Homo-oligomer: A and B are copies of this chain.
């Protein structure tokens, strides 16, 4: 089973709201940025980005406030389901902690659908796309 893939995403001071914590909406922005750095630009999965993938559903559970710091936060992504034209990502925003449980700020799922270039209608995954996605199912 492939391990979760982890992407570092830098925080911005502007992610913080009047309550001085990273705003709940910005957590979805961190997920978006992690995906932008996770999708491959060459190889089997590369046509996903060039064709287009859109978010069909997403949700997060928040467990701990996150404050601004210069160090990036980690975003863990794990493909948990591959359908005909959609797949599900299990996501968490966290700090790795040595010799202990990770500190998880939020966790949830994103369902993404591949669409045709132009009209934006969903289409089935190609064989290489499916191969790439299934290689990541964990």
Contacts and interface: CB of A to CB of B under 8 A. Distances in A.
Contacts of A12: 12, 29, 32-33, 36
A62 B120 CA distance: 14
A37 B71 CA distance: 10
Interface stretch (A20-28, A76-84, A92-100): A20-28
B57 A33 contact: no
A3 interface: no
A54 interface: yes
A60 B62 contact: no
A37 to B, nearest CB: 6
A42 interface: no
A17 to B, nearest CB: 7
A85 to B, nearest CB: 15
Contacts of A62: 54-57
